[in-house]
């Protein structure tokens, strides 16, 4: 699913469940970071499309990078957008890293289901056990519906909190 919003669907659902214990901004940043390597391959025409970045070892390294940079980028982005919060914008390190790891690992899992060139357990195994687990169409629906459900839950919880 390179360069598509489908990866954000599960992130929105996780945000609705974990609320302040999860940063959707850091999660989204991790999705971008994960797809930099495939973008370079597409632009240059050289390399393995879903290479090392789409392994759990590579995703672990990218999650650390995403957690370190995503905290500051997300806080800055929210300030630039002038989001009206009744509390200071501060993403804790633990929330940043949890969000980044969930983002990077879920990215590998989702891409493993639909792309035959993903080797999620490299260098320990070249076999992709997740390939074809469900159809691509079903995978897209799961991502879309999880995002819709997550948005409904997030705003529903917010609505009921404001009424109490």
58 domain-assigned: yes
156 domain-assigned: no
Residue ranges making up the domain that contains 68: 19-131
pLDDT at 103 (0 to 100): 97
State pTM to two decimals. 0.91
- Consecutive 10-residue runs of the chain (164 residues): their mean pLDDT? 78 94 96 94 92 96 98 88 68 97 97 96 96 96 96 88 78
141 domain-assigned: no
pLDDT at 80 (0 to 100): 83
23 domain-assigned: yes
pLDDT at 3 (0 to 100): 58
- Note whether 109 and 130 are within 8 A (CB): yes
42 domain-assigned: yes
36 domain-assigned: yes
pLDDT at 133 (0 to 100): 95
37 domain-assigned: yes
Please write down the HEC assignment for all residues of 24-73.
Answer: HHHHHHHHHHHCHHHHHHHHHCCCCCCCHHHCHHHHHHHHHHHHHHHHHH
pLDDT at 88 (0 to 100): 61
Q: How many domains does the chain have?
A: 1
């Amino acid at each position: 699913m390179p360069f598509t919003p489908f990866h954000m669907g599960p992130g929105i659902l996780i945000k609705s469940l974990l609320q302040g214990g999860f940063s959707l901004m850091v999660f989204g940043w991790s999705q971008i970071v994960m797809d930099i390597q495939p973008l370079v391959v597409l632009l240059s025409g050289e390399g393995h499309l879903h290479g090392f970045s789409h392994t759990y070892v590579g995703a672990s390294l990218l999650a650390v990078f995403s957690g370190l940079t995503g905290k500051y980028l997300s806080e800055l982005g929210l300030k630039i957008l002038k989001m009206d919060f009744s509390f200071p914008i501060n993403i804790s390190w633990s929330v940043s890293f949890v969000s980044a790891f969930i983002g990077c690992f879920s990215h590998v899992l989702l891409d493993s289901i639909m792309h035959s060139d993903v080797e999620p357990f490299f260098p320990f195994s070249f076999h992709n056990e997740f390939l074809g687990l469900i159809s691509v169409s079903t995978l897209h629906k799961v991502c879309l519906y999880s995002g819709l459900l997550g948005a409904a839950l997030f705003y529903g919880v917010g609505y009921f909190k404001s009424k109490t």
